Structure 1
């Protein structure tokens, strides 16, 4: 059965080769699971598939996400990319959307809709943060990352999540973060043991509100990710718990530079009174020429 070819968007781009590539199929109705997985496998990237909202659901559309190895419940950059692409192609009639995903309803807001410079933000729920104990774990994670425990920063190891658990690992400097050389063969086992879907080492920049990070996923089918929206959201809540982020300040997470794909994810917390009810993640998007 013939299916429409995906568009390739680059999400959270912060330079000419930047951003996380995401193949997006804008009319995936009728595609089988195997066909969706094949798009992700043949492109080698997390891929998004736009579908009609399920019957009886008040969502505007549905999204599914696949990596080469499996389906995912949520993918931040593919959601931002899909919404930006639908707007770019003139297929949206509104600038605030409710999107049905396997992880639940996600909201999207588009600023400057209908222009190539349109900005998309997608919602994530309030984060949950758990501190991981033990010097033995610090030594083990440092070893897996190809460094020494002394290279780790002063902050705690944290498992944080808004959609999927990421393990936040403070690193003492941006230079040390860039120099990490992980043993990828050991990532999956430690993630399985500590209940995580990826290691997210980060280093706090001298510039306020800027943090650098790298993401080594548990089992996506590739060793490093250029930009991870839900990990950046998780990091915001980890930093909030550490007192490194105030509820009203905005976070810029720079990722992918060590891979040659400089990316920036912008995160702002959402408040209702004094309660933090979630966050919004956004960033720049570009589409490959010819789309």
Structure 2
């Protein structure tokens, strides 16, 4: 089947000096998704140059390098936000794999990626004449109570500018597949989308509770496993994310632990970015392993739409 292609200027760029390609990942419409600058030929770039890309665009940025010798991987990916390097970024990984596929750089529909947080599997899950669907793996989630639960809870409510009556009757928890997120269950999507956080309090609070961001969420359609969420990062250099794949995967395991989703391969849909007018949609599906005849979740696959925006130029 013929693979879809990028615009001609983007195709020609791959044979020249490293260039920044801008994609929007997990986009729910033509204005949605989380923008991600991607450099497909980042070998030789310094840390300062990579960070400068993230600072220039104000978004998580992904950099594709040759895999380390002996790693058994196909590529190495690195990730930067304006303030620091990240160990893993879900939407930049999806966007980079999508670009590698679009520019004809993949020999297979499956690949293994070396990241600072560990090995990540990626697969091209479907083809069409116009697009391809990318999914990436995450390990099984770890769910933990907050340190000093009542004090932490009060501080979280204060930082989000809400009170107890606006919470759903579920625990606030830390959850992690690659990076720890604090899951805050709210009573409705209306409360979620009208939050006005006190951003100056979020960084110090997240440091105290061992989290990289607050991830408040609300149930939209329990039967269809649809949830809305917002991500307020600890110290990325911007106040909110339009779509956060790593947080969505952590949330899915939190939902499972609290009986809100099935232990099955049914799709869990996490919608994000609506309050930012960047509507986004992340699909999560659990993977399973056999444990003495019982199938238990051993991870998940996350994916969603990708939209090419522009060739943004050369790294400075």
TM-score, structure 2 length as denominator? 0.89
The one-character-per-residue Cα deviations of 1:153-188 (angstroms, maximum 9, x if unpaired) are 111001000000000000000000001000000001
Which residue of structure 2 aligns with residue 87 of structure 1?
A: 101
Which residue of structure 2 aligns with residue 227 of structure 1?
A: 243
Which residue of structure 2 aligns with residue 275 of structure 1?
A: 296
Which secondary structure state, in structure 1, belongs to the residue aligned with residue 29 of structure 2?
coil
Post-superposition, which runs of at least 4 consecutive aligned residues in structure 1 deviate over 6 A? none
Partners in 2 of 1:115 and 1:104 — Cα distance? 33
- Matched length: 290
TM-superposed deviation, 1:140? 2.1
Which residue of structure 2 aligns with residue 58 of structure 1?
A: 72
Which of the residues 205, 212, 218 maps onto 2:234?
A: 218
Preserved CA contact (<8 Å) 1:109 1:120:
yes
Which secondary structure state, in structure 2, belongs to the residue aligned with residue 205 of structure 1?
strand
The answer to whether structure 1 residue 237 and structure 2 residue 253 are counterparts is yes
Write the mapping of 1:155-174 to structure 2, written as runs, cut at 5 A.
155-174=170-189
Which secondary structure state, in structure 2, belongs to the residue aligned with residue 264 of structure 1?
strand
Partners in 2 of 1:150 and 1:179 — Cα distance? 15
Which secondary structure state, in structure 2, belongs to the residue aligned with residue 261 of structure 1?
coil
Which secondary structure state, in structure 2, belongs to the residue aligned with residue 288 of structure 1?
strand
The answer to whether structure 1 residue 139 and structure 2 residue 154 are counterparts is yes
The answer to whether structure 1 residue 190 and structure 2 residue 230 are counterparts is no
Gaps of at least 5 residues in structure 2 are 1-15
**Structure 1 residues 116 and 58, CA gap change in structure 2 (3 angstroms):** farther
Gaps of at least 5 residues in structure 1 are none
Which of the residues 238, 241, 264 maps onto 2:281?
A: 264
TM-superposed deviation, 1:290? 5.8
The one-character-per-residue Cα deviations of 1:19-50 (angstroms, maximum 9, x if unpaired) are 00000000000000000000000011000000
TM-score, structure 1 length as denominator? 0.96
TM-superposed deviation, 1:209? 0.6
